[in-house]
Amino acid sequence: MADETDLVFGASELKALEELVRRSGDGGKYGLTEAGFAPKPYTQLLRESLAAARAVLGPDIDLAPGSAVRKILELGAIETTRTYATMAAVVDDLYIPTASGPALSRLGEELGVPRPFMRASGELQLTLEDHADAVRIPRGARLTSLGGDRHVFTLNEVELSTAAKTATVRAQAFYPGLDGNLDPGDAAQKITLWNDSYTPSDDLDRLADLRARALAANVRLEEVVSIQHETRFTGGEARWPDESYRELLLRMPRSVWTPEAIQAAVSMVPGVRRVAVQDQYGGLDLNRAIFGDFNFLERLFAAERDLISPYAFSILVAQEDGAIWGGPGGLLEAVLEAVEDLRPIGLFPRVERAATVHVFVRATVHVRGLPLPSGNRTAMNQSPPARAFKARLLERIDSYVGALGFDSPVRASKVEYQIMSDPNVVDVLDLELLHGSGASLLQEGPQGLGVGRNLDPIPRSVPVLVDTDEYITLVPAP
């Protein structure tokens, strides 16, 4: 039986049409190529359709814009373009680097890594009781429900005093997922208590001092600063966006008993900001910063090892705001549980807590196009438009600082670049990085490095930007 196409065109005519399409094309490769699926553009499809119409219907056919035949050919080219786009999307959805939406979720589920949930967020009101002194609640303070099974942490620092006893603080559920959509109408979900398992740390944390003063006065912390939870937390039903999920899947190892598998598992533990797995029996020993100070033939690269010790590798963990390191349900316990089925048999990790270097930014920023009030510069910088703009600048800076890994320097030039990237910024003057950590930061405040100087890292540390705008001064540009 003859093919249906042969009933319309003969073999010679089909060959002529194929040659015509080849000559009328732009030389591009379309369809499934080594680089993926390349859809044929509308202009190319229309060009081929017009050439085929002249070949079949004669060169005198009316194909001018507005003619009936041209309109039919244009509609056909549009539909074919849509078909090409659909085919390209189908091919893209077969691979993790190009898939999106539900297709990317299905690929992740095949790898055993479902798309993670986001954290719900909401607002709480904190009230200073009449008998208490002025206090400052730090970012990352942990609060719980009455039963202690629902946890949130604060997203911004808040100061309470006799002049301003009540303040609204943004908060986020510590554990991602639907359970974070806290309903204050349910007594089991309502946030009313400060976390009892809180332990003082060497980070920027004034809550330890507040708790100590409460204990000295023989009162509960809730009697110093009370918590009002009146609005529902939302957003816990959302999933990770495509780009974040894609990055997770691309770095997810396809094996166990490897440093990469352990690092990927620990990175998914709520409360982990950064993680590094260090094999003590392979590579350089990060605990011995003596390179360049000895003769290679006289000293070893690493310290002597205890061969009978089961602790054969280290996990360096930098914690997020609101994470509690020790105690039942703490970050240390969660990390050990996450690697229990991934570690080699008989070998145990030594989980170490990374130091936190708190980074502040001091700068004079000349701006234009903002609705800033006129008058005193101090009052202008405290106005709502100025505070909102400085918060936007801090978000830009945090996109750089927050992406830095362990032992990474913070470069003043890159911080300045982030500020200058805002369309309302005209110039940045006297930019200086300030830093501090531990008790010295609480006692002495941040220390300046000098205008334009970089912040060099300290061993086994991660930089964290402090979102305070008190060191940023806005000046209207002429």
Per residue in 462-472, pLDDT tens?
A: 999 988 899 99
Tell me which of 98-112, 131-145, 372-386 is least confident. Answer: 131-145
Residue in 432, 389, 426 with CA at minimum distance from that of residue 410? 432
Q: DSSP assignment, residue 22?
A: H
Does this model's pTM top 0.75? My answer is no
User: Residue range 93-119: average pLDDT?
Assistant: 92
User: Residue range 302-320: average pLDDT?
Assistant: 76
Q: Which residues of 458-477 are buried (b: 16+ CB within 10 A; e: fewer)?
A: eebbbbbbbbbbeebbbbee
Q: How far apart are CA 429 and CA 431, in angstroms?
A: 6
pLDDT at 284 over 50: no
Percentage of the residues of the chain whose pLDDT score is greater than 70? 85
The overall average pLDDT reported for the chain is: 84
CA 37 to chain centre: 30
User: Residue range 379-402: average pLDDT?
Assistant: 94
What burial class does residue 253 get, using C-beta atoms within 10 Å of its C-beta: 0-12 exposed, 13-18 middle, 19+ buried?
Answer: middle
Can you say whether the dihedral through the CA atoms of 201, 207, 209, 215 is positive or negative? Answer: negative
pLDDT at 418 over 80: yes
Answer whether 424's CB lies under 8 Å from 367's CB.
Answer: yes
Query: In this predicted model, which residue has the larger pLDDT, 258 or 17?
Result: 258
Each residue of 105-117: pLDDT tens digit? 999 999 889 999 9
User: Residue range 362-388: average pLDDT?
Assistant: 92
Answer whether 163's CB lies under 8 Å from 154's CB.
Answer: no
- According to the model, what pLDDT value does residue 424 have? 95
- According to the model, what pLDDT value does residue 170 have? 94
Q: DSSP assignment, residue 448?
A: E
User: Residue range 146-175: average pLDDT?
Assistant: 91
Tell me which of 87-91, 176-180, 224-228, 342-346 is least confident. Answer: 342-346
DSSP letters of 242-300? HHHHHHHHHT--S-SSSHHHHHHHHHTSTTEEEEEEEETTSS--TT---TTSS-TTTS-
Res. 339 pLDDT band, cuts 50 70 90: very high
Q: How far apart are CA 125 and CA 123, in angstroms?
A: 7
Query: In this predicted model, which residue has the larger pLDDT, 417 or 440?
Result: 417
Looking only at the bridges linking them, the beta strands covering 461-465 and 158-160 are unpaired
- According to the model, what pLDDT value does residue 11 have? 56
Q: How far apart are CA 319 and CA 316, in angstroms?
A: 10
Helices 42-57 and 11-24: crossing angle in degrees, nearest 10, is 140
DSSP letters of 337-401? HHHTTTSPTT-EEEEEEPEEEEEEEEEEEEE-S--PPPS-HHHHHTSHHHHHHHHHHHHHHHHHH
Residue in 443, 304, 416 with CA at minimum distance from that of residue 361? 416
Res. 59 pLDDT band, cuts 50 70 90: confident
Query: In this predicted model, which residue has the larger pLDDT, 470 or 304?
Result: 470
How many other β-carbons are positioned within 10 Å of the β-carbon of residue 316?
21
Q: How far apart are CA 73 and CA 71, in angstroms?
A: 5
Q: How far apart are CA 79 and CA 81, in angstroms?
A: 5
Position of tokens 């089961």?
310
